[in-house]
Amino acid sequence: RRIDRLYQLGRYEDCLVLYRKLLERNPADLALHKAYNSLLYRLGRMDEFLASYDRAPQTREILLGKAHFLSLQKRSDEVGAIFNTLLARDPLDIAAISGWANNLMALGRHQEALTALESVLARPSATPGVFSAAASAALMTGDPQRAEFLCQSGLRLAPFDQTCLALLGTAWRLKGD
């Protein structure tokens, strides 16, 4: 790709110009938004950082992409607003519920996060990641027994899931097992 070559040559402004042109033609391309904003962040161009997401169609994927960047910056209020928007559109959206719960965890609201995550655990589309996030929340609320159960449930879906295995070990240590 031309952008990769320009980047390797240190021609970052040319990369940004090309990203902008590509985004004008493909405003809903999540990969382009991610790459463009990653470069803006590395260059310290905070005046432009994340603005491309606001110019794009406000699809679920675009909003989730922006929320990811905002969560890395610990901009919890903005993250919460995005997940509230997504949940207003679809209250059963597992990605939105998980993201909202992760934001609650970042705010230290562990019990609320656990409750939110447990609301989706019985669904067939629940992933090991949801179980491990719920187990993490359970550990933070001081319930290693619940965390153990959640990890074991996640491991039934993916027996070698590293996060579930690690949290299971933590739960056992907290239980003195």
Helix (H) / strand (E) element for 143: namely: none
Q: Is the dihedral of CA 132, 133, 138, 141 positive or negative?
A: positive
pLDDT value at 11 more than 90? yes
- Taking the C-alpha atoms of residue 83 and residue 46, their distance in angstroms, rounded to an integer, is 23
48-90 pLDDT, tens per residue? 999 999 999 999 999 999 999 999 999 999 999 999 999 999 9
Q: Give me the pLDDT at residue 1, please.
A: 78
80-114 pLDDT, tens per residue? 999 999 999 999 899 999 999 999 999 999 999 99
